Structure 1
């Protein structure tokens, strides 16, 4: 693995960890303080995490010095995020319903699974430099 790619992976991890922690705590706050059901609270967590992820990845993890292709990368990242959230919500539901896990544990597992998918798609599709330089 090249050094640049290693640093990119580390930056992705920092942004992803921040977004995941915020997602997790927003869900817990909505459930515990406002008594919203976990599956519904998950939407609030996603909304906060989306913006942290987008701006963190756009301007730090996958920074493009030309700052071109912003609209295209936003649309691709939004598609990844919505797909990731759909998978997140499906797995969260299945874990809660069929594995009888606490929502704390289920959400933690699901967030990790979706993070891997998000990195791969973000790196090679949403923020790929080839499309940004033409975008």
Structure 2
């Protein structure tokens, strides 16, 4: 593994940890303090973490000169895919398997970042290609 990739993974992990803590904290607070069911609690946590993730990964992890008209729609698409994955995991783990929300949040904290890194690195934060001469 190259030093550049290792550095990128380290930065991704740091920013991801912050965003994940925001996600998990908001989800668990919504569940415990406000009585949200697992899916709405997860959605609230996910929404709270989106801004942290976009700016942190764009600027810090991938050192991108963010072109919001190009990168933001891609990021929102990747976020929607991650939300679907996160929601699916939450549904299966809490409803189908009967485990507590905290267990679902731990599984989400492993699976979703791995998939997100690949999408961010190879698509979301890539540089726009110029078309034509």
TM-based fold match above 0.5 = yes
Separation (CA, whole Å) in 1 of partners of 2:34 and 2:82: 25
Q: TM-score, normalised by structure 1?
A: 0.91
Q: Using CA pairs below 8 Å that are at least 6 residues apart, which structure has the higher relative contact order?
A: 1
Structure-to-structure mapping, 1:111-122, within 5 angstroms = 111-122=109-120
Deviation at 1:5, TM superposition (A): 1.2
Number of aligned residue pairs: give it: 131
User: What is the RMSD of the two structures over their aligned residues, measured on CA atoms?
Assistant: 1.5
The superposition leaves residues 48-96 of structure 1 with CA deviations (integer Å, 9 ceiling, x where unpaired) of: 11111001011111112xx253321111111001101011101110111
Deviation at 1:99, TM superposition (A): 1.3
- Judge conservation of contact 2:31–2:38 (CA < 8 Å) in 1: yes
1:52 aligns with 2:52: yes
Q: TM-score, normalised by structure 2?
A: 0.92
Structure 2 unaligned blocks of 5 or more: none
- Please identify runs of 4+ aligned residues in structure 1 that moved more than 3 A: none
